């Protein structure tokens, strides 16, 4: 976060953030089934990027799709590379779930915060879907 907002002041205050963290990591955080989470996001990007990020919000918790399938969801089926680029530019990767996107081969592909974290997030999603 400090790379994106170098003048920001970061405070460690678990007591103040516990409620929000609880909502964020609850089994039903609202990014599935088209329901809203109650989190309001303000993200800046090109029209194309924002369109891709909106499509990411439609990928249900526990589901995995390819970049090609995501490009189709945006209405731009031939823009697979541009779609992948927009996924990589996602500024809030947990709330806009880019970890649910795979390569066409089924491989996990890259992830800005590392493949182990992507694998863990996919497992988290799957575990919560199984519990519900």
Between 113 and 74, where is the model more confident?
Answer: 74
Q: Is residue 65 part of a domain?
A: yes
Q: What's the CATH code of the domain at 54?
A: 1.10.10.10
- Counting the structural domains of the chain, the total is 1
Q: Is residue 109 part of a domain?
A: yes
Pull the structure tokens for residue 85.
């680029």
Q: Is residue 37 part of a domain?
A: no
Is residue 125 scored above 80 in pLDDT? yes
Contact predicate 74/86, CB 8 Å = no
Q: Is residue 31 part of a domain?
A: no
Domain that holds residue 117: 46-131
d(CA 104, CA 22): 34
Q: Is residue 74 part of a domain?
A: yes
Residue numbers annotated as active site: 98
d(CA 6, CA 24): 25
Its pTM surpasses 0.85: no
Q: Is residue 22 part of a domain?
A: no
Is residue 116 scored above 70 in pLDDT? yes
d(CA 97, CA 31): 8
Q: Is residue 61 part of a domain?
A: yes
Report the percentage of the chain scoring pLDDT > 70. Answer: 88
Q: Which residues pair with 66 in a beta bridge?
A: 102
């Amino acid at each position: 976060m400090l790379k994106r907002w170098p003048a920001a002041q970061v405070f460690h205050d678990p007591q103040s953030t516990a409620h929000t963290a609880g909502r964020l990591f609850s089994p039903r955080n609202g990014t599935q089934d088209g329901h809203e989470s109650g989190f309001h996001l303000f993200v800046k990007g090109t029209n194309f990027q924002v369109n891709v990020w909106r499509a990411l919000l439609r990928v249900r918790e526990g589901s995995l799709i390819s970049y090609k399938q995501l490009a189709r969801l945006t209405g731009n089926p031939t823009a697979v590379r541009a779609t992948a680029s927009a996924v990589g530019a996602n500024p809030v990767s947990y709330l806009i779930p880019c970890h649910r996107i795979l390569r066409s081969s089924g491989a996990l592909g890259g992830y800005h915060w590392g493949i182990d974290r992507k694998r863990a997030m996919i497992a988290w999603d799957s575990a919560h879907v199984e519990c519900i």
